[in-house]
Amino acid sequence: MSTNQTTKNPYLLLTPGPLTTSETVKEAMMDDWCTWDDEYKSLVQHIRQRLVHLATEKVEDYSAVLMQGSGTFSVESVIGTAIPKEGKLLVLVNGAYGERMATIANRLMIDTVVLQNNDEVSSLDLHSLNNILETDQEITHVAAVHCETTTGMLTPVKEISDIVKKHHKTFILDAMSSFGGIEMDIDELQIDYLISSANKCIQGVPGFGFVIAKKAQMKNCKHNARSVSLDLYSQWEVMEKNEGKWRFTSPTHVVHAFDQALKELEEEGGIKEREKRYIENQKMLVNGMEKLHFKPLLEREQQSPIITAFYYPDHPEFEFHLFYQKMKDKGFIIYPGKVTHKQTFRIGNIGDINAIDIQRLLEAVKECCYWEFSLPLL
């Protein structure tokens, strides 16, 4: 049995977040704290500084803002605050989370255009991106998803950013499922706003998201917000002026768990070593699943190290809900598919997951293949 499987945590979460956390991250939530306490505010400031240092070497130009709620709350706070009333947003869509950004923008009555892939497994058409920005001079902002967990696809951020910046547009990146697990420097990539969440590759628990943004961009969006609770500028201003104070009640337990998760990221060797572990997990997963006759949805060059989508096996007796329940009974939570026109399910390999867990997972998959009794040994 994995050290992660205790009576408190009877199964491993093989999802793109929430995910399996360490026992020490869980233990960090066992005490109560006051949101006004100077020690707590100092902790918040330290977390903000560490996030900027994880994101770029040019730390003097960037600042981090923490925002209550799920990652989507932070996405909406950026879209609703960064784009002025006269602004126009171009959203690059290759899955459900790009579609969600477009939905948010439309609901906020922001002038929005969408560049959508031919299908969810196609790579972004960079030529079309360039053409749109050349012909539509009213576009002020471009938003994209780095790791589209609908499929597991990794977006070519540098290529997109080069085009966006050639046309002098503001670049918003949803790095929800990649930040902390894939090395990047947001200054080198010319990202103006990067959005992520506590319960992803940093390996904390759900409760808040965060935005790492250029200070110059933040200063320019003071009067843009279309929401009180999700006013990103006001949240940033209060944290700056009040040394880590949140405007409204903060998730204190989650913040302490996140602090512990950041310490454990550093102990692991930083993002470089964590990315290496995720890559090794994902390769082991795919190699093992292919031996069990499960075909990945994406080609390997498109695939992120975060989550992998697999086609349903070509067998009339396969039924996902039964397969899911059998896997859960063996201690593993996998993920249903989210691709619109293909029958798939997904398995994530981020979180406090190691090679021994992937091996146990593959053994469980083999045992749960009730429709097939002649599978080769792993």
CA distance to 144, 201, 338, per residue, from 352 (Å): 27, 10, 24
SS3 assignment, position 139: coil
Provide DSSP, 219-243. HTTTT--S-STT-HHHHHHHHHHTT
Q: Residue 66 gets which letter from DSSP?
A: E
| Digit-coded pLDDT (tens) for 9-55 | 688 999 988 999 999 999 999 999 999 899 999 999 999 999 999 99
Q: Buried b vs exposed e over 82-107: b needs ≥16 C-beta within 10 Å?
A: bbeeebbbbbbbbbbbbbbbbebbee
- Residue 47 contacts residue 366 (beta carbons within 8 Å): no
| CA-based R_g, the chain, Å | 21
pLDDT at 286: 97
CB-based burial label for 300 (10 Å; 0-12, 13-18, 19+) = exposed
How do the domains of the chain map onto residue ranges?
Answer: 12-21+270-368, 24-266
Residue 373 has pLDDT above 70, yes or no: no
> Could you tell me the pLDDT band of residue 2, with boundaries at 50, 70 and 90?
very low
| Digit-coded pLDDT (tens) for 246-289 | 999 999 999 999 999 999 999 999 999 999 999 999 999 999 99
> CATH code for 24-266?
3.40.640.10
pLDDT at 4: 54
pTM of the complete model: 0.94
- Residue 171 contacts residue 157 (beta carbons within 8 Å): no
Residue 179 has pLDDT above 50, yes or no: yes
Tell me which fold the domain 12-21+270-368 belongs to: Aspartate Aminotransferase, domain 1 (3.90.1150)
CA distance 305 to 163: 25
Strand partners of residue 148: 153
Residue 345 has pLDDT above 70, yes or no: yes
Residue 296 has pLDDT above 50, yes or no: yes
